Chain A
Amino acid sequence: GAVVSQHPSRVICKSGTSVKIECRSLDFQATTMFWYRQFPKQSLMLMATSNEGSKATYEQGVEKDKFLINHASLTLSTLTVTSAHPEDSSFYICSARSSDLNEKLFFGSGTQLSVL
């Protein structure tokens, strides 16, 4: 099956620093990538949708300047949490979609962000 690689799997940082999370589709071209956030024992909440070469579309309530998304190629999208604070601590998951794969979404393994 299709593979989506997400790195890092875990990051601990100090308040005020920025953290970059990478999401790569390894064996297919991802025309669209999605970024989700998940709090403990809760479901996945969509943060933003990004299409290769264009600006990301953010969900209501998600700060664009806080969560910077770049989808520069068909295999790579990055999420940068800028000036992170403890309330940004969460599990972040990316997913990728290719129209060649029956519109299925394949998910990365997630990144646990802890901001001290």
Chain B
Amino acid sequence: AQTVTQSQPEMSVQEAETVTLSCTYDTSESDYYLFWYKQPPSRQMILVIRQEAYKQQNATENRFSVNFQKAAKSFSLKISDSQLGDAAMYFCAYKEGNTPLVFGKGTRLSVIA
């Protein structure tokens, strides 16, 4: 079964600085999708960014970008110019075909003013 590992239970970053959240996964498939979701205290899971495994180019969404290393099965999230509103739980997730998402245990990000 596919597994997703987030090795950092908690991270903190100074406002306006850059932080990187780590994620590794295990799969024998070559075609799949990877996601980062943000979950603030409101519980709503909000999609931050997605990456198709067949694309070599790293996905970018404004201040959010990923470093996708397919051979290493690594998918880290970089948040630039961190803002107070970025404070939340961040979940890395894996999906292939019509299967459900497999989530990591999450990283709690604190932003220090």
**Pairing of A with B:** no
